[in-house]
Amino acid sequence: MKKITLIITLLFMVQLSKAQDSCASPTAIPGPGTYTVGVINGTAPTLFCADNGAIQQAIPGGEWYIYTPTAAHTVTVSTDITANTPRTDTRVHVYTGTCDALTCFAGDDDAGADYSSVVTFNVTAGTSYIIVFDNRWLDAAHNNGFSFRLTEAPVVVPPTLPVTYNSTSLATINSTFNICVVDVDGDHKDDIVGVSNNNLRVHYQGAGGITTPTDYPVAGTHFMPNWSMAAGDYNRDGKMDFILGAGSGLSVWKSNGTSYTNITPGDYIFCQRTNFADLNDDGNLDIFSCHDIAPNCYYLNGGGTDNALTFYQSNVTPGAMKFGTIGGNYSTLFTDFDNDGDTDVFISKCSGPPCELHRNDGNGVYTDISAIAGINVTPIQTWSSAIGDFDNDGDMDVIITASSGTHKYFRNNLDTTNTTEEAFTNITAGSGWDTNTSTNIDNVTYDFDNDGFLDVLGGGNKIMYNQHNSTFAPVSYPGLMIGAIGDLNDDGFLDILNGSTIRYATPNTNKWIKVALQGVQSNRNGIGARIEIHGAWGIQIRDIRSGEGFEFMSSLNAHFGIGQATTIDQVIIRWPSGLVDTYNNVTPNQRLLVVEGATLAASAFTNGVFSVYPNPTKDVINIQLKDNLSVTLKSAAVYDLMGRVVLTTTDLDRPINVASLATGTYILSITDSNNKNYGQKFVKE
């Protein structure tokens, strides 16, 4: 009895002695000064404002303080002080709010010397700030106490940045790989895609933003996207499919409308960048993978209902298309360099050989024009290049962004009035890329601040902002790393997914437009389409690409900023099929959904294979095959101009009955026995 009482008393005392070690009972900081933190053994924080996530010690701990200034200051909390000699590897988080609803306000891990912490933030009078140090880096041997200093200084207003980011962590973004942001379900809003062993986790974006996750179990043995991930609807079921690129091969997670199936073909590929692209221009998305130590590989998509994949390796498989003859392939970027309507291929290379540019000459013929284009400079070490129209002159320029060594900025001098293949010009000197010493394996270009010019996100926790004259200047963002990019709150500004953290861009006053595509005759996602916007700025262009940069998969919606312009004269979509949709006088700040052919007159669909009559129609559509064609039509689908399937049939021996359709304009898509698709518009009266 006595013993038990003693133990209870002891327990009570222990609790008492630790009472100030929790959020509920923090130690008050009266003002500026140096304060001693003992062994970190109080309640561990679970909300992390500084980098490096959860505490991984056997016994996670925290020491809690509260600071309520009586006037506004710029405050610095630092463990980089002489009292700590040598420095301790500390980490600090600063919250506002109440203990049951804390909000991150600031935080730091390693800004000080030798991994000490320094965090500066502006405070307002009367607000309480909770400051907590944790033992993220302090194992039992190093958890011996340290000091911190709080200083108050006159308020310093931070400089205005082109765009700022507000980070939010979502605990359910906890898949093994969280490297993909893309629309999965066909509503053209970007979703978050996670891959774990046998599980696909999607955080859909609903009306109110990112929602709770939906899990799709995927059976079977599969590779993980250790090296890269790509997305595309290669089986045209309206849901996104995925390529998971690993060091010994790739897996495809193929949607069947409501569930996913794993396909692992089994060919050895040391995958680096993977892509969906229509390599042979047949309207079906093929699968491409860079090979690290051998020539590049791809799978041709047979289309139809089974979308059979056939393996080819450049320079190895008889009859394979030519995408180089050796290894050292780190990223492919499919884009149209010569504005001839098909996608060419730029290959970023490392460990010796120069980068390659393969021109698409149609019918599966690719010609290596690296030397003519002059982009085959050595030495070069790049794992990915930033490619876009940086000077808004209507052609794609290249920044070979370095993984080691120096960056190289090449301007495209395309002149389509002649048949000469112009060389690119190296304009690195004075561009800001010559003085940028940050290197990275992953580099992508987007208009992050919506000013109408493409910027670059690469290494060094900074965005290289386009200064509108072919020069770039860095703006640092502590903690910012490259990740999957898309618009995760549909506000027209691009957000960045870094692990479980979403960095939402805080909109500035610049205007924007997003263009979402749904192909009919072309591949379903419009991958390979060129989008132009025309206005006071002249022209801006984007190509829809599955697989930018090295590792991540980012939005398939084209995103443009237009600065302070208020009107967009024209939006032009040049589909891989050759069809061209045009919108005049488009209102900014909207997501424009374009179903292939939506803006075209019925007579503009010269598919060369069939025509329909009557058009307009009240009840049936007759299909008239053109003479002397050996094409066999197999199935048909009818889409409304929102891209929804409203009718399908495989019975093409009799007229298609459209009597039940509402009055309006529709696009008829017919598939032939070679799985090629043809579009034709019709009007239902």
For other proteins, the binding residues (CB under 8 A) are 51-52, 86, 89, 109-110, 113-115, 137, 224, 226-227, 246-248, 266-268, 270, 292-294, 327, 350-352, 379, 381, 403-405, 439-441, 459, 461, 478-479, 481, 551
Q: Are 265 and 311 in contact (CB under 8 A)?
A: yes
Residue closer to other proteins (CB basis): 272 or 671: 272
Q: How far is the CB of 62 from other proteins (least distance, A)?
A: 18
Residue closer to other proteins (CB basis): 248 or 256: 248
Q: How far is the CB of 93 from other proteins (least distance, A)?
A: 14
SS3 519: coil
d(CA 88, CA 114): 7
Q: How far is the CB of 142 from other proteins (least distance, A)?
A: 9
490 class by beta-carbon count within 10 Å (0-12 exposed, 13-18 middle, 19+ buried)? middle
Question: For 611-618, which contacts have Cβ atoms below 8 Å and span 24 or more sequence positions?
Answer: 611/680, 612/668, 612/680, 612/682, 615/682, 615/683, 616/682, 616/683, 616/684, 616/685, 617/658, 617/682, 617/683, 617/684, 617/685, 618/659, 618/684, 618/685
Q: How far is the CB of 105 from other proteins (least distance, A)?
A: 18
Residue closer to other proteins (CB basis): 272 or 275: 272
Residue closer to other proteins (CB basis): 292 or 619: 292
Residue corresponding to tokens 């109408």: 452
Residue closer to other proteins (CB basis): 164 or 226: 226
Tokens at residue 597, please?
């052919």
Q: How far is the CB of 627 from other proteins (least distance, A)?
A: 47
Q: How far is the CB of 315 from other proteins (least distance, A)?
A: 13
Q: How far is the CB of 290 from other proteins (least distance, A)?
A: 13
Q: How far is the CB of 167 from other proteins (least distance, A)?
A: 13
End-to-end CA distance of the chain: 92
Q: Residues for the chain: how many in total?
A: 685
d(CA 209, CA 464): 28
d(CA 66, CA 49): 16
Residue closer to other proteins (CB basis): 94 or 369: 94
Q: Are 549 and 555 in contact (CB under 8 A)?
A: no
Residue closer to other proteins (CB basis): 223 or 410: 223
Q: Compute the CA torsion angle 103, 109, 112, 115 (nearest 10 deg).
A: 160
Residue closer to other proteins (CB basis): 272 or 617: 272
Q: How far is the CB of 165 from other proteins (least distance, A)?
A: 14
Tokens at residue 49, please?
């404002």
SS3 content of the chain, % helix, strand, coil (to 5): 5, 40, 55
Residue closer to other proteins (CB basis): 29 or 380: 380
